[in-house]
Structure 1
Amino acid sequence: MDGTPQSSRNKPPRLTLAAVLASFRRAFLGVGLMSGAVNVLALTGSFFMLQVYDRVIPSQSMPTLVGLAILAGLLFAFQGLLELIRSRLLVRLGSALDAKLSGQVYSALMRLPLRTKLPGDGLQSLRDLDQVRSFMASAGPTALFDLPWMPLYIAICFLFHFWIGMTALLGAIVLFCLTLLTEMRTKAPTKLAGTHAASRSALAEATRRNSEVLQAMGFGARIAERWSSINQDYLAAHAKASDVAGSLGTVSKILRMILQSGMLAIGAWLVILGEASGGIMIASSIMMSRALAPIELAIAHWKGFVSARQSWSRLSQLLALLPETAASVTLPDPVSRLAVESVSIAAPGERRLIVQDASFVLEKGQGLGIIGPSASGKSTLARALAGVWLPARGSVRLDGAALDQWEPEEFGRHIGYLPQDVQLFDGTIAENIARFEPDAPSDKVLKAAQTAGVHDLMVHLSEGYDTRIGEAGSALSAGQRQRIALARALYGDPFLVVLDEPNSNLDAEGEAALTQAIQSVRDRSGIAVVVAHRPSALASLGQVLVMSQGRVQAFGDKDEILSKMSRQKPQAPPPLKVITPSEESAAS
């Protein structure tokens, strides 16, 4: 066995959007062939009317009429069946597209906030995938498949008569220009509506997370006003895009009706002149309607097409921004050293460096406390050690290998991370501790909980480790969430454990358990790094790193560094002496 998790070994190869489309090439070819058959069968109505007016009525042959009616009925039924199959196939294609891309999009959703600054609530990529799938299941794609068959109908119109063909061609040109106008007029408002929708969703999510604060301090009404303002902007942009698409769709419908009536008039004129028959007059009118129907349908669904195209473009950029390259060699488990080499770190999407040129080395069994004033870069450095934020310069190495040389799942087995803002997932306590590992061994869950000192707390709950904690752990107290998150960080005995202010919500009993947990990491030859404001978190650590203004000010033995810092503190000024008026007059 190579030690690689089963999920990593069986991970499907990464696909680009072009590769996804190529994988559906045969399905799209099938839809195209069905569209061709549907459009050929759509000539049934025109030719049926032509035969009725030119053959049945002059000959007054009832058998001919019955035969034509049966044949036309069969062709119409076959056309309906093909259209039904085509629409269902497009729905299935949309679902298959979602199934192939959803894993990568969700993975990008997790990784993108760690690489760049996201607008809105950060969920735009999922909405984009939904938009593409919804468009695939709508009538819009059928119009796009039918458009290439317009020349066939126009050519048949020319076969009927030159002026009938010219009328059909003129109508097609007018509606085509209307389609271009629809494209130009709907693109900007559709994009703006999407931007406002993302802002609206972000504020709604922030409101949900901070409902207690809004209620307690009474500024919910002001946030509601802000949401209403954003919502009004969204509604205005959405209404504008819908108005443009709707107006042009109505114009195209009226134009098609005018052109169809005009075709009848042209046909009647030609019949009067003796240059066409009554059958050609009726058939050409029906032909005109069918020829222009795809353009009218495309205009009606153009807003959805523009939205889907913009979503597809954003998805292409997203997947290109976050390439995944599978490591060809599985690295051995780190067992000896953490090295930070001239690391400078900026927040995702920002240029300003928060940490500059940090360097230090920790050997197995050592524990480091990172201390310093607020905004000195402590949490930023912790994120880089855990592989959460990538360094702008320099590198963080485990046993000589940079962190990005590991597959994310493989790397995660060696890291325990407790962030400042503890977040748990809806599920059981055991699932959260086990990092949602399928069929997690009970002994590993119990060991992590016992090491974190949370086992006794768990068994006293009504359902023990099977207690569901609700969204974000809402059923637990802040201290309980922090201790469960600590157990999650210790699950599987990771080599490097990074804890960012792990005692911020702990009582005395919790702090004692935290000290023992940190010591247990060191005792098993792991490395513990703790960001601390309270001295109690440093009890089981042997070294200290002092940060100020994003730079390392000191690094070394804890007692030596703390002693030196205490000597460098300025002496307190002598207490002020209050002088009474009588003492002041006596002194003078």
Structure 2
Amino acid sequence: MDRGTKSSLLAKPIGMSDKEWLDHLLGQQTAPQSRPAGMSDQEWLDHLLGQAQKADASNDATSAHASTEPQGGQSTAPLPEVGPSNDWLKAMLWPYRASYKQAVILSFGINILGLFAAIFSLQVYDRVVGHAAYSTLAALSIGMAIAIGMDHVFRAGRSLLLQRIGARIEVGIAHDVLQRMLNLPAGVLEKRGPGYWQAVYRDVEIVRTTCSGASALLLIDLPFMLLSLILIGFVALPLLPICLMTMACFAALAWRSGQVTRDATETEREVLVSRDTLLSELSATRMHLKAVGAADAIKSRWEEHYARWLNESVARSREADHYREVAHAMTTANSVITTSFGALAILSQYMTMGSLIATNILAGRLISPMVQLVSQWRSFGQFKAAKKRLDELFNQPLDRVESSLKLPRPSGVIRLEGVTFTYPGHTKAQLQPLSGEIGPHGLHAIVGHNGSGKTTLLKLIRGLYTPTQGRVLLDGADMHQYSQAELASHMGYLSQEVQLLAMSLRDNIALARPNASDDEIMRAAMRAQAHEFIIDLPDGYGTKVGQGGHRFSAGQAKRIAIAQSLLNDPPVMLLDEPTAELDRDSELRLIKVLKELAVDHTVVVVSHSPLLLSHCQGVLVLDKGKLVAAGPGAQILPKLGIQPATRPTPRHLEVAA
């Protein structure tokens, strides 16, 4: 067994930490490394994955170099490496090609050793029994004991090797899927609910199992069936056609089972996604459903989805069981036919009794992978469908991850040039052509009736949406020049629906910058009017938020989210209904903070609050996606029936005619 085989264990040893175990799974041969100071969890995982792949590639390069080393000690240039394909799965598997080669070599040894049982039976029945050759029997028995021991070692090594590959593949693909999900455009993310992403990770599991589990072992073992056929041709040539016909029948049965169960499996998956999506909705809205008395109605809906999934699952299982039963019957029939024709061949003196026994053993070795093929063919269909779905995900265009040139911190001038926006799949524009300039600095408001496009415009300014026509500029630079990470550091964004994660309050506030200092976190919480209620909690900033943040009121959750957006002190603040759930006292204090920020920040709010609007220096009024009015607050607010609380200031808002 080679060093790649020895380097992995299946179960985490007692006393080994999770990090040490992750290092072990990723193929680290040295002592566990410590994470460098300042490196995030994401960067550290990327580092570990990179090292794991380099280690495997290094093993392969070493073996390739050794194989090309000429005799006499003279070295030659190593053979050129073949680069990975653009296919994401091939690129993922490419660094592990050396490990797969080792698995094939071990499988060759296993299949060679598997022939020894047939040879042993042939020799015992034809030589030992007929001639009372005790010494021959002893020698054969010792040889078989050695073969059995070697077979066990080879199988254990191959299993460990493939499971190490499987662990690396799953970590790598799951890591890439998560990275893709986080970097997809907001419009794509909004169209896909939690059920879709749960299904995606089930697809990752299918790919991992196929590449390193029973399916991979089957694919490796199938070519070695030729060894058994060759040996049957030597010891029992009259029975070779029967074995070939049996293999053809099993191959046809496997193909047919895959065809029949494929559609049923896809339908079952679609129903499962629908069921999981409904379950996610029920979990997220359980208190609302209880409050409005919708338990009975939603129960009926759940039972309908569950019954559909159960029916599809039972139907698919019934089809699979049917083909497994047919395969079992064919196995028995093959044994009977082989024995019957073998007996006729013995009576005609074409074969010996030992040849018949050996052929039955070899036929069993031939049929075993074919029976597995019948049951595993559905898995290959699932793998093909799962890879196709993952292909769609990996082919999705992503937001810009890195900018070509790091631009300086913007002053906060937002310019719109003929911006229109239409949601994908819709023909009516959500926003009509809109041009203008906001900032630098000042407190500005976007107002309008529900559905007028206020939130859509805010998302366009933030760079979450891409304009259908026109463009958005920040300090004269097209928004597309910035990566999403840079936009997040330049623009604080508060969404209309606040979502807190199931971690501590401190971690939620420092979500985008986990290494933020305690002083920075408390300063952000104070400015968001959240510090007072946080320190009043028994665990303070260490208080666990819980699933969905339901232990806090809507107003408290809103203030935590505002603190999150204030942490990086961005030059632009985009707040969607920041005072919607706040009491009057908290609203007044938040308005004071926003006015202080507006001195050297550009603050844009979407709000219906007259109290907040009265302090805004610039106002944009939208109606059905059209800009109907814009200008200084002192001019626009009286038309809306709101008395301005501030005096006119120098230009902060300019709209194109």
Partner of 1:360, secondary structure, is: strand
CA contact (8 A) 1:115 1:349 kept: no
Q: Does 1:35 align with 2:111?
A: no
**Paired letter, 2:196:** G
1:387-408: CA deviation from partner (whole Å, max 9, x where unpaired):
2223222222222333333333
Q: Deviations over 1:174-226 (max 9, x none)?
A: 00001110121111111111111111011111111111122122221111111
Contact 1:451/1:520, CA 8 A, preserved across alignment: no
**More relative contact order in 1 or in 2 (CA 8 Å, sep 6+)?**
1
2:141 to 55, 69, 72: 69
Return the match for 1:427 from 482, 488, 503.
503
Give CA deviations for 1:466-522 in whole Å, capped at 9, x if unaligned: 221112212211110011111111111012211111111000111112212222321
2:196 aligns to what SS in structure 1?
A: coil
- Pick aligned residue for 2:617 from 526, 542, 546: 542
Distance in 1 (alpha carbons) for counterparts of 2:127 and 2:505: 81
How do residues 105-504 of structure 1 correspond to structure 2 at under 5 angstroms? 105-112=177-184, 114-116=186-188, 117-118=191-192, 121-123=195-197, 124-136=199-211, 138-323=213-398, 326-347=402-423, 352-435=428-511, 437-504=513-580
- Secondary structure of 2:430's counterpart equals strand
Distance 2:124 2:425 in 1: 70
Deviation at 1:227, TM superposition (A): 1.2
Shift of 1:377: 0.7
- For 1:436 and 1:541, the matched residues in 2 are separated by 28
| 1:519 equivalenced with 2:591 (yes/no) | no
TM-fit CA distance, 1:74 = 1.4
Q: How far did 1:36 drift? A: 1.7
- Give the letter for the 1:529 counterpart: V
CA distance in 1, matches of 2:426, 2:238: 65
Structure 2: distance between partners of 1:375 and 1:119: 22
C-alpha change, 1:302 and 1:212, in structure 2 (3 Å) is same
SS of the residue aligned with 1:228? helix
Shift of 1:120: 6.4
Structure 1 counterpart SS, 2:313: helix
Amino acid at match of 2:355: I
* Shift in Å, 1:445: 0.8
Kindly, what percent of the aligned residue pairs are identical? 28
SS in structure 2 at match of 1:480: helix
What residue in structure 2 maps to residue 578 of structure 1? none
What is the Cα deviation at residue 305 of structure 1? 3.1
Name the structure 2 match of 1:575.
none
Report the Cα offset of residue 133 of structure 1.
2.8
1:46 aligns with 2:122: no
Unaligned runs of 5+ in 1: 568-588
CA distance in 2 between counterparts of 1:518 and 1:368 reads 10
Q: What is the CA deviation profile of residues 263-322 of structure 1, one whole-angstrom value per residue up to 9, with x for unaligned ones?
A: 122221111100111111111111111012112112223333322332222112101114
SS in 2 for 1:353: coil
Q: Deviations over 1:501-549 (max 9, x none)?
A: 11110001111122122223212x2211100112222243211111111
| Larger displacement relative to structure 2 (170-179 or 399-408) | 399-408
**Cα 1:246/1:141, change in 2 over 3 Å:** farther
Instruction: Select between 128-137 and 11-20 the one with higher mean Cα deviation.
Output: 11-20
* Distance of 2:614 and 2:206 partners within structure 1: 54
Residues in 2 aligned to 1:349 and 1:100: alpha-carbon distance in whole angstroms? 34
Deviation of 1:374 after TM superposition, in Å, equals 0.7
Q: 1:380 to 1:307 in 2, by over 3 A?
A: same
Q: TM-score, normalised by structure 1?
A: 0.90
Q: Quick one: distance in 1 between partners of 2:421 and 2:612?
A: 25
Bigger shift: residues 215-224 or 174-183: 215-224
2:173 matched residue in structure 1: 101
Measured on the aligned residues, the alpha-carbon RMSD in Å equals 2.3
Q: Following the alignment from structure 2 to structure 1, what is the Cα–Cα distance between the partners of residues 145 and 116?
A: 9
User: 1:112: how far off?
Assistant: 4.3
* Bigger mean CA offset, 504-513 vs 31-40: 31-40
Aligned length: 562
Q: Tell me, in whole angstroms, the C-alpha distance in 1 between the residues paired with 2:141 and 2:445.
A: 89
Give distance in 1, aligned partners of 2:39 and 2:485: 10
Q: Give, in whole Å, the separation in 1 of the partners of 2:272 and 2:619.
A: 47
* CA distance in structure 2 between the aligned counterparts of 1:426 and 1:99, rounded to whole angstroms: 23
Kindly indicate whether the alpha-carbon contact (under 8 Å) linking 2:122 and 2:355 is maintained by their aligned counterparts in 1: yes
Contact 1:94 1:132 in 2 (8 A): no
